Every structure is written in structure tokens, then in C-alpha cells.
Structure 1
């Protein structure tokens, strides 16, 4: 709960350290739902950005490069872009910590299960209309590269995935199709439209250079934001 409150505080004040990288400032009134003076409220927004992994869970690795750091860097940029474009967004983590540390309600020895259930729980506690979970891929085949968006079985999730896949394909000059992610916990358990965005392969030299370059991270974030805007325009 302490880190959930920290999310609300950091979203309210904005991620000022990153703001200088973008040309437009985030409208303050769109960062957090207004609360009555005599009560507390959780953030309310359109998009919940899930920055995959964190803390003890580094995710996929390639030498010293950790997936958790890539996910957070691009998630922060996406957060600022969406808010600056009039699409209120919140982050479920704003630093390098594991969401499983906040989970005191799921009785399980598995840190991984507590982490995933905490991410799903936040979709109930924070009022949003979609979940966009950011990750990077890894495989033994070092020739594999490019983005892949995984979706739920619902049509709305599939449409969101197609919109984001299309904009990432154009950004990375690829031609991949999104896929249904049946085995993935978040896609099975989250009620609102949700997608997992694998932004590239950390195991591929070219993708890794792109994923760790701040300017290319911003291009990835812009592509994802564009896909979300397309989805919102189609479903309005």
C-alpha cells in the first residue's frame, strides 16, 4: 500500500526528470483524479501502463543489460507522451522495485505469483479503461528481432493489439502480426482490454542497441502512443 500511495504522489507531481525530453508538458489536471479535501482517492485515467519486472526481478538479460530498466525507461516516456496528448495515464511502478513487495494479501511463497497478482489487483484499484504492459523479448535464436503484441481473446483487446502492432511495425520497418497470448496471467485475469507489448528482442544486437538508446526509446514510446490513439479513434 505504501508504494501504491507513492504511485499516486509521483503521478500527481509528474516525472519532472523526464519532462525535458519532450516538447509538451503534461497537463497537471490530467495526471490524477481530483479528490475531495477530506478524503483520499486512487489515480483515475484511461491507460494503466505496466512497466514489466522490477527490483529483484530483472526480467530478460543480455550481459549487463536488464529488461526491467528498458521497460521502465520506455514506460516513463509513454506516460509523459500520453498525458501531453490528452490521454490520461498512470504508471504502476515509477522506480526499480518489485510490485510483489507490496502484496501482503496473496498467500503464496512464490514471489512471481505475488508480483503478477499485484499487477492485476491494481487494474481494480486504479480506474482505467485499458492495460498496456511493456516487455522485451528474448530467444536463443539471435537472428529473431522485431516487436510482437499479445492480446486477449476479446475483440477490443485484439483491436488494440493490431493498432499498436501496426505503429511499431512502421517504426521498426517490420511486418509482424499480433498474437493471442492465452498462457499469460495478465491477459487471462484482467477484465478491461489488455495487451502485452514485446518491444523488441534483447537477445538481438540491433534490437538491443535500439532498446537501450534514449532517442530510440522515445520513438518506440511515440509508436505505442500512436497505436493507442488509433484505437481510441476507432472505438470512440
Structure 2
């Protein structure tokens, strides 16, 4: 009788463990399907398919961009751009990279003229590749070292720019825990000259020591690229939902 009672207790214990395991599996499965619903998959992947996305890693070569305590803007923008390139490729998009190494696109000896050539070549590449979207990646800097957080800029006169900027800004705000609003900028050369939906994305401030440290972390660079990718996906999804072709698309 005692053996039977012991066996009964053990069996009840195993049953409880088994039921607990099933509950954990169900909860985990529910969490998985909630995070990756068909609608999310559409937003993340299908909307970008076949789109030509020009990824412009700001500065490069003789032009370092903003200079921090431990890093240069040109290196951070290139790393983020490479992460973004892979995400777009995996989604079936066609990323076009302005640069994949530490170079600029100018050839003149004088720095001012070389910079003008560099910018002009970037715009020409966007035209030649028939890009649907132009993403210009930069890192900010300010005399006010307390400023932090990503900021996205667009040009009012360029159709699609504001919607693209707002979509990307929203995702970057989630990542950084900020409440910035996408801003119109009439002065940036790229935004004035682009033929497609274009934005300039300042991913953070090198002038803030804490943020500079984060911007040099590989994981954070990847997370920034994911946020930009999500915003781009949402922009493309909205265009498709409204039945509109991407700005700059040619037949």
C-alpha cells in the first residue's frame, strides 16, 4: 500500500510538471505569434520587395564628419549602413551603397571643391540607380553636450519625404526613448537635390560622451539599422495600402 501511495504521489508530481511545461510552451508560442503576426511580416518584408534603396553613409575618406572623443562620424555611419544593407537584402529589396569602405567620391585636391564633387556624385548615383528612396545616414554634434537622441530631416517640397521621415523617426524614438518630431530642412544639399523620397537621419550625438559610447557599440548600431528598416517598411506599406507608387519610380 505504501509503495502504491508513493507511486501515486510521484505520478501526480510528474503530471503537474508536464502540465506546467505545456502552459509555458503555449505562452511562449502565443508570444511568438503575437510578435510576428502576418501583418508584421508584411510590414517588415513584403513591402520593401523590389524597391531600390540608396544607402548613403555620410562623409568618408578625407572628410571625417563630426569628431568625437573616441570616434569619427564616417566610421559609425558606414557600420550602420552595412547593417541596414543586409536587412534590406534579406527583405528582397535592392540596396545601393554609396560607399562600402572609407572613401569619398570627390577627386579634386582642394577640400571645398572635393566636398562639392562628392555630394554631386552621391546625387548622380541615386539618379543612375533609379532609387525609390534615399537614406542619408549621419551622426550629429553640438556645443551643447547634453543633447542626445536621433533626429530625422526631410524637405517639404519633395513628395514622400515627410511621410518617410515620420515613419523612421517614430521607430528611432522607440529605440532611444525620445519624443523627437521629424523636421523640415531647406538647407541640406542632399534633400534639395534628390529626385526621390529622401531623408537625412542623424542617429545621435557624438558630442554627448554617453551617447558616443553607445554609438560605438555593434549591438546598438545594429538596433539603429533595424529601427531605420522598420520605418522604411512602414513607409512602403503605407504607399502600397494607398495604391501609390514610390516617389522616383520609373517605368
Higher relative contact order (CA 8 A, sep 6+): 2
**Quick one: structure 1 residues 155 and 126, their matched pair in 2 at CA, closer, same or farther if it must change by over 3 Å?**
closer
Asked which structure has the greater CA Rg, the reply is 2
Aligned pair partner of 1:55 in 49, 54, 61 = 61
Task: Confirm whether residue 88 of structure 1 aligns to residue 91 of structure 2.
Answer: no
2:140 corresponds in structure 1 to 137
CA positional deviation for 1:45: 5.0
Unaligned runs of 5+ in 2: 1-47, 241-251
Cα distance in 1 for residues equivalent to 2:71 and 2:129:
31
Equivalence for 2:79: 73
Residue aligned with 1:110, SS: helix
Cα deviation per residue 1:146-167 (whole Å; 9 max; x = unaligned)?
A: 0100001134100000000000
- 1:4 is matched with none
Structure number with the higher helix fraction is: 2
Secondary structure (helix, strand or coil) at the match of 1:182 reads coil
Whole-angstrom CA distance in 1 between matches of 2:70 and 2:180: 28
Structure 1: segments with no counterpart, 5+ residues: 1-29, 31-43
Q: TM-score, normalised by structure 1?
A: 0.77
TM-score of the superposed pair, with normalisation by structure 2: 0.72
Which residue number in structure 1 is paired with residue 194 of structure 2?
A: 190
How far apart, CA to CA, are the structure 1 residues paired with 2:223 and 2:67?
A: 22
Q: Following the alignment from structure 1 to structure 2, what is the Cα–Cα distance between the partners of residues 206 and 180?
A: 27
1:99 is aligned to 105
Query: Aligned partners of 2:70 and 2:168: how far apart in 1?
Result: 29
Aligned position for 1:209: 213
- Name segments (4+ residues, structure 1) moved above 6 Å: none
Would you say how many aligned residue pairs link Structure 1 and Structure 2? 190
2:178 alignment partner in structure 1: 174
| C-alpha RMSD of the superposition | 1.9
